[in-house]
């Protein structure tokens, strides 16, 4: 599942490395407690992207609630502020494994590059690029089976992922990822969307706009002079 959480009115959520470290700590604590595997992430100054697999239907909701309580309390105390920090509830989208998960993962890790913060994703330490491409060990990281299938050995996987992430994401795919995250609809092909629709009973397609109703001309009126 692709999860996005943004600062209220896009305000800053992380003002220092200590803030990033605190968020990562409580993310690890919450995911460990509620049974959520964290596959990919990026912490930007005013929002975060997470790619996770829950062990139950409510695991991610519980994780984000717990994480939010701890981090907002820490942030408000640190900067002598009050009030909300995030723009309401987090946004989430189910991601199809085959054909979409690694694309979503690349989209997440290339966020700092698209934002012009770095030219090489390896230069941004607050993402999951380094575990995937350089082999750095991070305790909260749980590699997804789609990533593990890139090679039979650790070295072959690292090299395969470096080649993969060097390929530019198609603009249509970027739009599809963003639309799915913003609307809460599934990120996947038509068949996968229909399967999720049948399983959950929730619509996974945009409603088509019908033709505008024709307006009848006003009847002619006769005026007495």
What is the per-residue pLDDT across 56-112, written as a single tens digit (0 to 9) for each? 989 999 999 999 999 999 999 999 998 889 988 899 999 998 889 999 999 999 999
Q: Is residue 158 part of a domain?
A: yes
Give the model confidence (pLDDT) of 23-35 as tens digits.
Answer: 999 999 999 999 9
Whether 139 maps to a domain, the answer reads yes
Looking at the domain assignment, is residue 114 inside a domain?
yes
Arithmetic mean of pLDDT, 172-187: 90
CB neighbourhood size of 90 (10 A): 19
8 Å CB contact between 109 and 42? yes
> Residue 199 falls within a domain, yes or no?
no
**Which residue range(s) make up the domain with 189?**
2-193
The confidence band for 206, taking pLDDT boundaries of 50, 70 and 90, is: low
The domain tally of the chain equals 1
Assign residue 88 the CATH number of its domain.
3.30.70.1290
Looking at the DSSP bridge assignments, the partners of residue 54 are: 36
Asked if the structure places residue 221 within a domain, the reply is no
Strand order, beta sheet including 2-6:
36-43, 47-54, 2-6, 91-93
- Whole-structure pTM over 0.75, yes or no? yes
Residue 220 lies in a domain: no
Q: Which of 4-13, 37-46, 102-111 has the lowest mean pLDDT?
A: 4-13
Residue 124 located in a structural domain: yes
Q: What is each CA distance from 121 to 117, 132, 155, in whole angstroms?
A: 9, 11, 19
């Amino acid at each position: 599942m692709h999860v996005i959480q943004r600062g209220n009115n896009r305000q800053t959520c992380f003002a220092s490395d200590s803030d990033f470290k605190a968020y990562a700590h409580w993310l690890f604590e919450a995911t460990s407690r509620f049974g959520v595997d964290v596959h990919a992430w990026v912490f930007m100054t005013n929002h975060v992207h997470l790619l996770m697999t829950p062990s139950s239907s409510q695991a991610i909701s519980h994780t984000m609630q717990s994480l939010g309580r701890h981090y907002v309390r820490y942030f408000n105390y640190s900067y002598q502020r009050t009030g909300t920090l995030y723009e309401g509830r987090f946004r989430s989208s189910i991601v199809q494994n085959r054909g979409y998960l690694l694309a979503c993962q690349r989209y997440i890790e290339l966020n700092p590059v698209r934002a012009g913060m770095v030219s090489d994703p390896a230069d941004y330490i607050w993402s999951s690029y380094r575990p995937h491409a350089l082999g750095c060990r991070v305790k909260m990281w749980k590699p997804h089976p789609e990533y593990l299938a890139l090679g039979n050995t650790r070295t072959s996987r690292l090299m395969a992922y470096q080649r993969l992430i060097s390929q530019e994401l198609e603009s249509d795919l970027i739009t599809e990822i963003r639309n799915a995250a913003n609307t809460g609809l599934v990120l996947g092909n038509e068949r996968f969307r229909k399967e999720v629709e049948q399983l959950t009973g929730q619509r996974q397609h945009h409603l088509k706009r019908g033709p505008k109703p024709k307006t009848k001309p006003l009847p002619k009126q006769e005026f007495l002079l």
